[in-house]
Structure 1
Amino acid sequence: MASGDSRSRIAAINEAVLAADEKAAALLQALADDAVKYTETQVFVMKGEGWQDAATGAPAEPPAQAEDVINNNLMRGAIAAAQAALQLSSPDVAERAAAADALFKDPDASRLPLVEAALRKEQDPGVKDKLALVRAASALESDDVATRLAAAKALGEQRSPATKLLLNNRLAEEGDAGVKAAIQASIKRIDAMLVWGDRVNAVFSGISLGSVLLLAALGLAITYGLMGVINMAHGELIMIGAYATYVVQGLFQRYFPESMFGWYLVAAMPVAFMASALMGAVLERGVIRFLYGRPLETLLATWGISLVLQQLVRSTFGAQNVGVENPAWMSGGLQLMSNVTLPWNRIGIIIFAGLVLAGMAWLISRTRLGLFVRGVTQNRPIASCMGVNTARIDTYAFALGSGIAGLAGCALSQIGNVGPDLGQSYIVDSFMVVVMGGVGQLAGTVYAALGLGVLNKFIEGWAGAVLAKIAVLVFIIIFIQKRPQGIFAIKGREA
């Protein structure tokens, strides 16, 4: 196991693994740690502060002529696979599953008896399936043509990218025409299933992107769609929500027990909403209230404010991106197929976007504030004559839209970097979503966000990210030319 060429050493390692000897396991670990010396007649392993004879376990000092064992990449792979094979008898299910995964990456026909023995003893269904896959992969390396043929057909039923890679590697080495044809047929079956997985991934990614655009555009649907204010600082309100989440995370890390860290995101949601809402209220009362009905001046003023807010964040938190961690309950993902894993953070954002949309729709259509907002939007002079304080309603509505932008920033902190330029990535897309959906129409905003998200991801998979952006922009330009009122036009005598 320690000396000779790589082929003979690997054969010796596989033989030792079949014997499942404890001293062999210790020697494998020492080989992995580069803590082995050898002479022509003896092998020495480092144990603690001293050396031992690998065969007897007795203390032994290596002589001056002892050589260090040198492991190339091939040997390191064989050692890791052998250690994984020994873990198949572990009492821990996770360790056995990890061992099966490692053996699948480095199949060897000589380990078939070991895998068969482990398969007979295994009780866990998940590990059993993995071991059956390892058995087929190992049989594919057999010298017997019939065994390789059966293995190629069996692997064709395991529709995963890893299996396809394994079959492709074997196809390049296979000399038998029958086995080669079986391998090619299995690859075709796997490809057919993987195509469906890619489509599911594209749809989910599109819905995920659409949910992000929806969150970013919902606030703008109020400030621009209902109030007619072109707020170029909307992206910076999203950024403020993201940084508020970062601050709450820091407070939880410093002042709360580690077991409570997973709840920081729940606490950050109202904080992000209030931080952006207060900034929006200050912005409306201090600047925008003097510019109603003057769109060009509003655009220039809010653009200048966006630059001020970016610099303020750079001066406070630094120009570099800051890290916002996912709570444990938002880590990992839901595996639907071998090549389809839906991340929990993306699923969470989709659900969160739906809840924010439902809350906003209820607020606008079912509450007194929503009634006042709709009244002021439709006819400001008559609403004022009816006793509505229009200036206060403007502030409330703008603060509401800004607060929703803060919630979007809180959500975006879970899927990307948080930095001073965060909002700039979404401001243009948000305006496109609102304009395409129809000014003042929440339903149109939803359709436009999800439609653009799915369309962008499908084109991206075919033509790349840059061309996908260009294609979506061209599509929106053509759409607005043909239907300037958007997907849903305003209905009624005023329209």
Structure 2
Amino acid sequence: MKILHLAWVSALGLLLSLHSHALTAEQAFAMAAAEDNDARAAAINAAVLAPDAGGPTGRTAAYLQALADDAVRTAGGKAYVVQGDAASDPATGAAAKLPADAEEVVNNNYLRGVIESAQAALALSSSDVQQRRKAARQMAAEPDAARLPLIAKALAGESDEQVKALLGRARAASLLGSDDAAQRLQAVRQLAGLKTPETQLLLNQRLADETDPAVQKAIQAALPAIAESLAWGERLGAVFSGLSLGSVLLLAALGLAITYGLMGVINMAHGELIMIGAYATYLVQVLFQRWLPEALFGWYLVVAVPVAFAAAALVGAVLERGVIRFLYGRPLETLLATFGISLVLQQSVRSLFGAQNVGVENPAWMSGGVALLPNLTLPFNRIAIIAFAFAVLGAVAFMIARTRLGLFVRGVTQNRAMASCVGVNTARTDTYAFALGSGIAGLAGCALSQIGNVGPDLGQNYIVDSFLVVVLGGVGQLAGTVYAALGLGVLSKLLEGWTGAVLAKIAVLLFIVVFIQKRPQGIFALKGRSAEA
């Protein structure tokens, strides 16, 4: 197919050289609507290469879009563009009468690929640099020897360095299919310096078909260097993914570090408090979408943060005053009670929002990412969650260590009777502390809504890991929670690259079991009177 395709292009090039004028748009359009797929592909390429193609706003581009939209009919050797009940001549744009026997032009996948490549080629002459970058990126991903003249023309007039680099890669990738071994060798040397996954794939594919010993040797020398460079990107990507997972675990476990670590309450409904924060974020998004101008949508997440905290904190306060305060000092009973409450909360959410997941969109400023290496892109939403996790950690640490409420929480935790004797309202402090831990869980739900779907079972995916983080870090120790969350996140992602997700999870669990057996107090042990109590 490709050989015949190139033969048609060569034949058309010869035809063009024999005539003093370029292939007219009308001829190209008629041939693009022919029944033979290779003839249509050749005609499309010739129309794009013609000097009067007109760029991304010309008639050639408009006709290619009509072909892509299946809006072209043929009859009597002519092509017609049909929009609704109106037909027009693609060469002039003038209205035309559609013959009764006109037939629809059908595009298969091969022709759709040719059309998309042709549209990208025309976009290279756009005045918008972003559009040219997108087109050059597409041409680099789909190399075609028929595009070499157009690439050369675009390179000659291009000023943007990124577009030049992409076009250079597209030219080198296209030359890999050349009949000239010297050109193939030159292409291999150029691609070897790029060290991208795309060039690695192209060189591997070429190696399987290469017959020239010099080119084979060059490819075999280039592939290990590319693989080593990409391996570093994969390693750094695994570390970043681990930090991202660790920040999520940190947010999920911070609230538990207060309710369980400081208060001794085994709260099995902690995951549902995370879920409440996520649904609060969803409701704020819906409010912004329905009632506020579209320009303000990017700010919904800023409003959702305090709303998620307040919603989860309110539920936590009601839970503490209604159930938990009667069960202090009886951890197993709190476990059973909160487990039942978690089921009630899950079913309540299913009744209100349905059993299906709901989607929460990222604001525009959290979309995209930063490309550090060819195979390493750091998503903005993950970066934002890491920063948010540490901001929440700093706020919690400051509140516990420097505020009046933090002093009361620490006093009640260490010696409830003595704190009561000096005038601390222990019941109110318990409520505030539990509401604080619940509110932090709501913030975790707000963050989690930005990296996945929100559903009734959202919290169940994190409750076990949250308890593991708190126990591993040391009960009541915020610093231990940080080390445990980030350490488990990075360890899990590194092991996944070697063993797979399931075995990595088992390995992490075995590590925690062995560690707790050797050091039951966790990474950081309590010191002083609180450790003796």
The question of a shared fold, defined as TM-score above 0.5 by the shorter chain, is answered with yes
Report the CA distance shift for 1:227/1:110 in structure 2 as closer, same or farther (over 3 A): same
Q: What is the CA–CA distance in structure 2 between the aligned matches of 1:392 and 1:176, rounded to whole Å? A: 82
Shift of 1:150: 0.4
Whether 1:422 aligns to 2:458 is: yes
Q: 1:46 aligns with which of 78, 81, 85?
A: 81
1:306 aligned partner: 342
2:49 aligned partner: 18
Report the CA distance shift for 1:25/1:397 in structure 2 as closer, same or farther (over 3 A): closer
Q: 1:220 aligns with which of 236, 239, 256?
A: 256
Secondary structure at the counterpart of residue 415 of structure 1 = coil
Q: What is the CA–CA distance in structure 1 between the aligned matches of 2:478 and 2:233, rounded to whole Å? A: 32
Q: For the Cα contact (< 8 Å) 2:81–2:89, is it kept in 1? A: no
Tell me which amino acid in the other structure corresponds to 1:33: D
Tell me which amino acid in the other structure corresponds to 1:427: I
Secondary structure at the counterpart of residue 406 of structure 1 = helix
Whether 1:326 aligns to 2:357 is: no
Secondary structure at the counterpart of residue 472 of structure 1 = helix
TM-score normalised over the length of structure 1: 0.94
Tell me which amino acid in the other structure corresponds to 1:172: A
Report the CA distance shift for 1:356/1:78 in structure 2 as closer, same or farther (over 3 A): same
Report the CA distance shift for 1:416/1:53 in structure 2 as closer, same or farther (over 3 A): closer
1:157 aligned partner: 193
Q: What is the number of residues matched between the two proteins?
A: 494
Q: What root-mean-square deviation, in Å, do the aligned CA atoms of Structure 1 and Structure 2 show?
A: 2.1
Shift of 1:119: 0.8
Secondary structure at the counterpart of residue 321 of structure 1 = coil
Report the CA distance shift for 1:388/1:59 in structure 2 as closer, same or farther (over 3 A): closer
Q: 2:477 aligns with which of 410, 416, 441?
A: 441
Q: For the Cα contact (< 8 Å) 2:414–2:529, is it kept in 1? A: no
Shift of 1:35: 4.0
Q: For the Cα contact (< 8 Å) 1:43–1:54, is it kept in 2? A: no
1:169 aligned partner: 205
Shift of 1:458: 1.0
Q: 1:121 aligns with which of 157, 164, 169?
A: 157
Whether 1:376 aligns to 2:412 is: yes
Per-residue CA deviations over 1:429-459 (Å, capped at 9, x if unaligned) read 0000000000011100000000000011111
Report the CA distance shift for 1:376/1:62 in structure 2 as closer, same or farther (over 3 A): closer
1:139 aligned partner: 175
Out of 51-60 and 410-419, give the one that drifted further: 51-60
Out of 149-158 and 111-120, give the one that drifted further: 111-120
Secondary structure at the counterpart of residue 89 of structure 1 = coil
Q: 2:280 aligns with which of 244, 254, 271?
A: 244
- Percent of paired sites with the same residue: 71
Q: What is the CA–CA distance in structure 2 between the aligned matches of 1:30 and 1:321, rounded to whole Å? A: 38
Q: What is the CA–CA distance in structure 1 between the aligned matches of 2:73 and 2:329, rounded to whole Å? A: 84
Report the CA distance shift for 1:169/1:126 in structure 2 as closer, same or farther (over 3 A): same
1:404 aligned partner: 440
Per-residue CA deviations over 1:212-244 (Å, capped at 9, x if unaligned) read 000010001011101111111111111111111
Q: What is the CA–CA distance in structure 2 between the aligned matches of 1:103 and 1:391, rounded to whole Å? A: 68
Per-residue CA deviations over 1:314-365 (Å, capped at 9, x if unaligned) read 1122221112111111111111111111111111110000000000000011
Per-residue CA deviations over 1:283-324 (Å, capped at 9, x if unaligned) read 111111111111111111111111111111111222211121
Listed as ranges, the gaps of 5+ residues in structure 2 are 1-30, 54-58
Q: What is the CA–CA distance in structure 1 between the aligned matches of 2:356 and 2:64, rounded to whole Å? A: 44
Q: What is the CA–CA distance in structure 1 between the aligned matches of 2:392 and 2:341, rounded to whole Å? A: 26
Q: What is the CA–CA distance in structure 1 between the aligned matches of 2:361 and 2:421, rounded to whole Å? A: 51
1:92 aligned partner: 128
Tell me which amino acid in the other structure corresponds to 2:331: P
Q: How does 1:254-265 map to 2 (within 5 A)?
A: 254-265=290-301
Secondary structure at the counterpart of residue 46 of structure 1 = strand
Per-residue CA deviations over 1:263-302 (Å, capped at 9, x if unaligned) read 1111111111111111111111111111111111111111
Out of 226-235 and 69-78, give the one that drifted further: 69-78
Q: What is the CA–CA distance in structure 2 between the aligned matches of 1:54 and 1:361, rounded to whole Å? A: 69
Listed as ranges, the gaps of 5+ residues in structure 1 are none
Q: For the Cα contact (< 8 Å) 2:80–2:98, is it kept in 1? A: no
Shift of 1:165: 2.1
2:401 aligned partner: 365
